[in-house]
Amino acid sequence: MQRWDAQQYGQIGGFVPDLAADLMEWLAPLPNERVLDLGCGDGRFTARLQATGATVIGVDCSPAMVEAARSRNLIVEEADATALPFGYATFDAVFSNAALHWIRDQDAMLREVRRVLRPGGRFVAEMGGHGNIAAIRVAFAAVLERYGIDGDAGDRNYYPTARAYEEQLSKHGFLVERMVHFPRPTPLPEAGMFGWLNTFRLGILDEIPTEKRQRVLNDTVKMLLPVLCDEQRRWIADYVRLRFAARAR
Ligand code: BEZ
């Protein structure tokens, strides 16, 4: 299970909402439209959505993130994406950024999104796509194995191809209007790969005894240095995105 430290995420993960800024154009929210922000995190993007004049509700399963988002004066529910606390056809649009790849039961989540969306409503989202953070995954898994930890535990996220996800969406009653799969090399803030691992791999790191944890971090960073760090020692993470706009039939 991933654990989120909202303060750490606020410092390290600011690029997540910032780099998805143009996703707003894909959603094109209208004033007073009812929009669900699924996996809203600390609410940074949710606040931007609300500023457009839409009526926005955020949902996240992390209590720390819900608390952080509520501190921005947003309406946020703590809930699982596979069991949403809303009735049939509650929303005109469901939006999601960098959250869908964390959800294990994609079928249950897509069923829920379809249920809470009115017929004709939009589902606009961006998530990790096939090949996402491939170098980070391989290095982290190899180092975990070196220390006697199951490497698969290092990344249980789901990064589908465009074709696979289009099939998933259509199976669940969505008509895909636009979908793109593209690399997004992502410069990391000052804290570099240590900061990234300590933020986005906090759940698994929590389970490793302290003395081993530092060695796991050091070895992973060392392994990634030649491939993800540039001449100025700036880290660039190998993100790949899958972005889509679909309509509920
Ligand atoms: C992503 O946004 O693609 C992502 C971020 C952290 C961990 C895994 C995936």
Q: Domains in the chain and their CATH numbers?
A: 6-133+157-188+238-248 (3.40.50.150)
Take atom 7 of ligand 1 and give the residue whose Cα is closest. 200
Centre of ligand 1 to C-alpha 119, Å, is: 30
The number of the ligand 1 atom at minimal distance from the alpha carbon of 98 is 2
d(CA 247, CA 227): 39
**Prediction pTM value:** 0.97
The number of the ligand 1 atom at minimal distance from the alpha carbon of 240 is 3
> Which of 182, 191, 185, 194 shows the shortest CA–CA distance to 241?
182
159 lines ligand 1 (CB under 6 A): no
Q: Is 193 left (phi over 0), alpha (psi -120 to 50) or beta?
A: alpha
58 lines ligand 1 (CB under 6 A): no
239 lines ligand 1 (CB under 6 A): yes
Residue 167 pLDDT greater than 90, yes or no = yes
The number of the ligand 1 atom at minimal distance from the alpha carbon of 128 is 3
Take atom 2 of ligand 1 and give the residue whose Cα is closest. 98
pLDDT band for position 223 (cuts 50, 70, 90): very high
Mean pLDDT of 143-150: 96
Torsion, Cα of 46, 48, 53, 54 (10° steps): -30
pLDDT band for position 1 (cuts 50, 70, 90): confident
d(CA 115, CA 221): 43
The number of the ligand 1 atom at minimal distance from the alpha carbon of 199 is 6
Centre of ligand 1 to C-alpha 191, Å, is: 16
Quote the mean pLDDT of the chain.
97
